[in-house]
Amino acid sequence: MEHLPIFLDIKSKPCLVVGGGPIALRKLDNLRRAGAQVIVVAPTLSEEFRARIEQAEIRFHARTFTDSDIDGMRLVIAATDDRDVNRRIAELANARNIPVNVADQPEDCTFIMPSVIDRSPVVVAVSTGSASPVLARMIRARLESLVPAGYGRLAELCADYRDKVKARFEQQRDRRRFWDRVLQGGVAERIFSGHLEEAKVAMERELESGTRPSTGEVYLVGAGPGDPDLLTFRALRLMQQADVVVYDRLVAKPIIDMVRRDAEHIYVGKQRNQHTMRQEEINRLLARLAKEGHRVLRLKGGDPFIFGRGGEEIDTLAAEGVPFQVVPGITAANGCACYGGIPLTHRDYAQSVTFVTGHLKDHSIDLNWPQLAQPNQTVVFYMGLVGLPQIIDKLIEHGVAPEMPVALVQQGTTHMQKVYVGTLATILAEVEHDPPQPPTLVIVGEVVRLREKLAWFNTEPDPEQGATTPILPGD
């Protein structure tokens, strides 16, 4: 490697920044975050730079650089628009063995300012050795998604327990195994989700269990409506550390492929009148796997708490004393409506939105029809395809105009997406010769009229290109 990566302690140390433009300002911000005592020398400052100095305790000298400015400094940044001045600053710093960074002049630098991911006390630095600062920033942006903000809090917890762990385990091998389990298990996840006190309780439990694996945990993760790009960062992280994945029919294959490769896969998909495993059996399966010490990923299409039976599953887990956490996902109503070019609310058309299941546990459609027939709202029916004729009849019976717009979104957000548009009076005829395939979402409301206008600006997945193509009205 061309440079030695190091971290300098410059807290309360005098550091010089020469220059008053945007590059100098970026360097100053990094020094300030590291706690440096910053001195700025520049004849003029940009407006943003001046505002920053007025807000912080920064010494500013409104003049050009002089050789004596470098005296007593622990670190120097040269960021003027004059290459000769920058080189002169570098020469002076080198003569005094002071680390110096020169903007856009790597040959004059003795150190490089990397792109930084700050999760203090955890800090990750990315550098391309001045070959391409833009590439370094792009790599940092990708790493940002992989390093949760809670890593700093996790490091602090580790520091608090370091002595206790050392006293509990005499052998370094046992300490390493303990930390591996803690940093990839329930303690870390409680930190990431903001439950610090629960994390401390879990940490004490891990210490008590010693090298024996404690009870596992269940992750109820919303996989979204189908497009893998709609997964949350937290969902991706848990998918990569699960020992077992229990998934249903609505989870798209590209999402299943993103689960840790050596994880055991258990399919528990359910279709109308055709259940691979009854819900009660799924509940007991999750509890049993966790009690065996496994990290169990319960992967559910959409959001676990919106017609996903997540509530039923955590009822059993809570009763069995099994730790669990719930990761929300983009529910089908949001994903399908967005990709279909239909806003669920709009000040001129709908001031509320109602999500309702198209069939109940006994396969009936006994709903609060007077409420669903109220004006100025959008009603979204999940699992409403089979009962669509009855839904239409009941809405019209309770006062909804036959001209009310309706949209059916088939397999929304995936390359199989198809949108059918009509009214309560015409939609059945529209789909008679080309029936939509489940899962299909039903959207009823005046907002459907906006699709023709807004769909021009929307996109849908292209199965061959892996990119996006415009959705045209009527597609």
Lowest-pLDDT range, 46-60, 138-152, 271-285?
Answer: 271-285
What's the pLDDT score for residue 214? 63
Where does 215-330 sit in CATH, by number? 3.40.1010.10
The CATH code that applies to domain 333-470 is 3.30.950.10
What's the pTM? 0.65
pLDDT score, position 80: 95
Q: How far apart are CA 376 and CA 353, in angstroms?
A: 9
- Please give the pLDDT value at position 401: 97
* Residue 404 and residue 396 in contact, taking contact as beta carbons nearer than 8 Å: no
Query: For residue 388, how many other CB atoms are within 10 A of its CB?
Result: 20
Type of residue at 411: Q
To the question of whether residue 44 is assigned a binding role by annotation, the answer is: yes
Do the beta carbons of residue 290 and residue 217 sit within 8 Å? yes
Q: Which two tokens stand for residue 438?
A: 């489940």
- Was 81 annotated as part of a binding site? no
Q: Catalytic residue numbers?
A: 248, 270
To the question of whether residue 303 is assigned a binding role by annotation, the answer is yes
Percent residues over pLDDT 70 in the chain? 92
The structure tokens listed for 160 are 């608090």
State in words which class domain 14-113 has: alpha beta
Residue 23 counted as an annotated binding residue: yes
Judged by DSSP in three states, 337 sits in: helix
Task: Answer positive or negative: Cα dihedral of 242, 243, 244, 250.
Answer: positive
Cβ contact 12:37 at 8 Å: yes
305-323: pLDDT as tens digits? 999 899 999 999 999 999 8
Q: Where are the domains of the chain?
A: 14-113, 150-214, 215-330, 333-470
